[in-house]
Structure 1
């Protein structure tokens, strides 16, 4: 099955919205995995509607990462691959196209039954597969397992949905372990770190099973903390992206640094990259932007990049054993 066949881009719906709203200039924003599809989609929409299509070329890491500048140049914009967050009132022009997967999950869930060691299983996924979680639960129940699909906090649109920065739908203390439906590694790794429970990944695209192994990430985080223990000057990174901006947290961390006779500076920017930070001569950075940044980009910055919780460990405010995964939570 090709990528185009594996996901529903809701093109008929998009065409109807463009026609109904009378939009003349339309923006499209895709996450990295879908960007290659954008020229063909744009051509089809232009042909069907006569609207001028503008494609965002900026990186897109989630629903938190709306291309605000593009919204100012278009009548409406379609954001693909994510469900809206609680703080996506940035623009009424934005329509979220969740791009649900049409791939069958029952076969790979059947494969997972013999690998699940617990009795009470929490089932989780990204928005691409949340509509298949009931199917997954029915398969597990047919094989004698108890299933739990939990709701999350205010940032979570659907029960069982996890984000790269929010694992509140996997906070059920009664679950023995979790079954993650999907192909990625970061979300199940985050759940494993956040819950300290086993997470089995059931990949429906290739019908494979694997276990989320957080040991490498924990070793990397321990190394980053160790390199920062003698740091005196910190750069606290704040993202300007609407869904990532945590200025109150940054101010709190700066105050904490001062209380421990450390120097800290708040650095604000839109896209956080190693090159963007290269000119800031600090001993270590503290990331309050997308929590994935410190983990995905480990070793690429010229100074260690700490999470807020790791910064607390460096300052002696938190014990090593109390290290938890950084999340952006909602009410």
Structure 2
């Protein structure tokens, strides 16, 4: 995550909401990259209001990961860094503070012209930069590119936005290649695996353009699949977080496993970590929680951690060439 000073935390709006609602207790929830700003934000709010502020210390992986316990203890919970999901209305007192980036994109988008090879360019980004996509499109179109800012499914709040678990906006229209505005690797990697197209990363924070190389990830996933081919007992991971819970999928996969003469046990938990799974003795895990887990934590679990599409390959339902990125779609 880039320097938090480059982002707008909408402090004036937050103070206004607290005053307008008369909230006495206020919760703040941050993703990991923004937690360093928590103390200073609390200081600013306390100077302007009489509210008691509580900070969530739990990990936060997205809009799917609301701190439900804290939300029930406060009048208002401000959730930073993500846009509302279609299924986030299970907590009624949550305000989403999207935290838009102040970084300029003109120079890095111009730099990308030297590396873009296709004519039809799909523009993608996270919620922090969606307000910059139109500017990026105008720059590219001035150089004879056709720009596509695709509209995703119901989980996607803005055209061109991608989540760590949903790349439907990238698949909305066929493109020659994609330009991702942002600094991370996971979101563009998902787009590359989801579309099979070349992806460039235009990082406005360091003013650098990089071509994404997914060969290392593909080798890792191939190794995980290979280690699972002889598995007879699978641990099906189901997350209890409301935005990640996919019990219906887990039950469907459990039935598929049993039809192949193998067996599976469903393990339900809130925070999925290698340590939490250490005592479960299975031949392989299948993750139906956040799709990032299997990728980010590869090699750290005590048994191979498969994604649902990878399980289908292990069972012979699909070929390796059919591998796609696991997504949570509407």
> Could you give the per-residue CA deviations for residues 57-112 of structure 1, whole angstroms, max 9, x where no partner exists?
00000000000010111000000000000100121100000000011101100000
Q: 2:165 matched to 1:165? A: yes
Q: Secondary structure at the match of 2:100?
A: coil
1:13 equivalenced with 2:13 (yes/no)? yes
TM-score normalised over the length of structure 1: 0.98
CA distances 1:129-187 after superposition (whole Å, capped 9, x unpaired): 00000000011011111111010001000000000000000014531100000000000
1:173-192 to structure 2, matched below 5 A, reads 173-192=173-192
Distance 2:190 2:121 in 1: 17
> Structure 1 residue 3: deviation in Å?
3.1
- Name 2:51's counterpart in structure 1: 51
Is residue 310 from structure 1 mapped to residue 310 from structure 2 by the alignment?
yes
1:111 aligns with 2:111: yes
Secondary structure of the corresponding residue to residue 53 of structure 2: strand
CA distance in 2, matches of 1:126, 1:284: 32
Paired residues of 2:10 and 2:99 also in contact (CA < 8 A) = yes
Quote the Cα distance in structure 1 between the aligned partners of 2:78 and 2:25: 12
Contact 2:151 2:172 in 1 (8 A): no
Where structure 1 has 5 or more consecutive residues not aligned to the other structure, the ranges are none
The Cα of 1:299 is off from its aligned counterpart by 0.2
> Partner residue of 2:194?
194
Q: Structure 2: how far apart are the matches of 1:277 and 1:5?
A: 37
Q: Distance in 2 between matches of 1:127 and 1:174?
A: 22
The 5-angstrom pairing of residues 2-81 of structure 1 reads: 3-81=3-81
1:213 maps to 213
Say if 2:113 is the partner of 1:88. no
Query: Which residue does the alignment assign to 2:240?
Result: 240
Report the equivalent of 1:102: 102
* Preserved contact between residue 76 and residue 95 of structure 2 (Cα < 8 Å): yes
Q: For the structure 1 residues 249 and 4, does the alpha-carbon distance in structure 2 shift closer, same or farther, using more than 3 Å as the test?
A: closer
Secondary structure at the aligned position of 2:276 is classed as helix
C-alpha RMSD of matched pairs (Å): 0.9
Q: Distance in 2 between matches of 1:4 and 1:220?
A: 32
- Pairwise CA distance, 1:5: 3.3
CA apart distance, 1:47:
1.8
* Match runs of 1:130-145 below 5 Å: 130-145=130-145
Counterpart of 2:257?
257
For residue 274 of structure 1, what is the aligned residue in structure 2? 274
Aligned residues: 329
